[in-house]
C-alpha cells in the first residue's frame, strides 16, 4: 500500500519531469495518479535515434570491410531456386562477383540477384518468401579476403 502526501506527489512530479519518461501511472487502492508530459516531439526523437543507429551501423560496416547488397526492385525475396531446394547461399558461403545470391519475383518475372563483389556472406537480412522494397538491405558480404 502506498501512502502519499502532497509533498510525496510533488517529488514524483519533479522526478518524472526530470526524467525521459513521457507517461507514468500509479494505482494504489482508491488512489490513481496519472502523469503525461506534453509538448515533446516523440517521433522526432525516435527518428534522431534511428539515424544515429543507422550511422553507427554504416561506420561499423566500413570498419569491418562489409559490402551490403540491396534490392534493386520491389518484389518477393526467395533464397532458393525453387520450393524444397537448397538456398543459393548461407552465412559463411564464399561468393565471387556474378554468383547468384537470391531471386526477387516481380510481376511473375524471376530476377536473379548477383553478387557484385568477391567475399563471404556474413549476414542474410531478409526471411525467405517475404516482400522487399527497393533499396532494402538483403545481404552483408565481408570483402577483401583474397582466399575466396
The top-level CATH class assigned to 65-143 is mainly beta
Question: Residue 91 corresponds to which cell in the numbers above?
Answer: 552465412
Nearest residue to 66 via CA among 145, 12, 131: 145
The confidence band for 53, taking pLDDT boundaries of 50, 70 and 90, is: low
Sorted by where each begins, the domain ranges of the chain are: 6-36, 65-143
Put simply, whether the predicted model's pTM sits higher than 0.85 gets the answer: no
**Dist. CA 35–CA 82, nearest whole Å:** 55
pLDDT in tens, 1-27: 456 667 777 787 788 778 777 777 777
Higher pLDDT, 122 or 53: 122
pLDDT in tens, 63-112: 578 899 999 999 999 999 998 899 999 999 999 999 999 999 999 899 99
**Dist. CA 67–CA 14, nearest whole Å:** 48
The confidence band for 131, taking pLDDT boundaries of 50, 70 and 90, is: very high
Higher pLDDT, 145 or 132: 132
Tell me what pLDDT residue 35 has: 76
First to last CA, the chain: 66
- CA quadruple 116, 146, 102, 67: dihedral, nearest 10: -60
Amino acid at each position: 500500500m502506498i501512502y502519499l502526501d502532497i509533498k510525496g506527489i510533488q517529488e514524483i512530479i519533479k522526478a518524472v519531469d526530470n526524467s525521459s519518461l513521457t507517461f507514468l501511472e500509479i494505482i494504489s487502492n482508491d488512489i490513481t495518479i496519472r502523469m503525461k508530459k506534453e509538448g515533446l516531439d516523440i517521433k522526432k526523437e525516435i527518428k534522431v535515434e534511428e539515424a544515429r543507429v543507422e550511422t553507427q551501423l554504416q561506420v561499423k560496416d566500413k570498419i569491418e570491410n562489409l559490402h551490403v547488397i540491396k534490392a534493386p526492385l520491389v518484389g518477393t525475396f526467395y533464397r532458393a531456386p525453387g520450393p524444397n531446394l537448397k538456398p543459393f547461399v548461407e552465412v559463411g558461403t564464399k561468393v565471387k562477383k556474378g554468383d547468384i545470391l537470391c531471386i526477387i519475383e516481380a510481376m511473375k518475372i524471376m530476377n536473379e540477384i548477383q553478387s557484385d563483389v568477391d567475399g563471404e556472406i556474413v549476414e542474410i537480412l531478409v526471411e525467405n518468401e517475404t516482400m522487399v522494397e527497393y533499396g532494402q538491405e538483403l545481404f552483408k558480404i565481408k570483402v577483401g579476403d583474397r582466399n575466396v
